Structure formats: C-alpha cells, structure tokens
Structure 1
Amino acid sequence: TFTLNVGLMYARSTTRTIDLMGRVEQRLMKAKGWDQQVFNEEVFFVSHGEVSRSQASVRVMDFLKFANSKTFFR
C-alpha cells in the first residue's frame, strides 16, 4: 500500500485540519499504530456509510524551497 511519509509537515490551522489531527490522536490513544499509516488512512480514505472523514487536503511542497533532510545536511 502507498503511504505518504510526512517527515516535515506544515498544517494550517483550519477546522478540517484540527478535525484530522484530533482523529489521528484519538486512534493512536486507543490502539498502537504507526502514526504515518494512521495519518494516511484518516486523510486519504473516503467517507462511506456512517464513516465521515475530515475532508482536509494534502499538498506536497517543492523540497528545494525549504530546509529538509535532503538539502540541510549537504
């Protein structure tokens, strides 16, 4: 399965983002899990039946425009 490995994340404080992070937190508090996988499931799985998702959107930044492990330690 595909997993977006977040590494470094910028999250704008919106209702959808707060909802998403709350869902991730609740799932990790209830059961052991890989934080990256839980985040991916909450952000990418679609709503269905009784299950509703946060509807937060994900965008990938250009890695050459901010400090990261690929550029910072060169």
Structure 2
Amino acid sequence: MQDIELNSKITCPECGHSKVETMPTNACQWYYECEMCNTLLKPLKGDCCVYCSYGTVKCPPVQVGNNCCNNS
C-alpha cells in the first residue's frame, strides 16, 4: 500500500506567500484564497485542483494514480 502525503506547501503565484495546508482526502479543492494578498487561486489548465497547480505535493487521488475528482 502506498503512503499518501496529506500536507502540501501551497505558494501564491502573485505575491509568493507560502503556507503548509492539509489537503482534503474526499474532495478536490478548486479554490484557495491567499491569506497575504487575497488572490483567489484556481487550478491551471490540465490540473484538477489548486494543490496540483500550486502545491509541493499533488492531491491524494493523483498520488495514488487516479485522475482526481473530475475523472475527465
């Protein structure tokens, strides 16, 4: 069985602020508001969630080889 990392450091592309967050295991997170500059982050094209786009660790479904929550 593969170990799943639940913490990811998400970095705002606008101001560079980083924060370690715990990723949800039962849903994708499509939005994340930077607490420093209030920029609303959304997934980049081709990514399923903000952690896959801006985090140091991909979301739990992607870590285990799934297409994440949108299954497209």
- Tell me the TM-score normalised to structure 2 length: 0.24
**Structure whose residues are more often strand by fraction:** 2
Larger Rg: 1
**Structure whose residues are more often helix by fraction:** 1
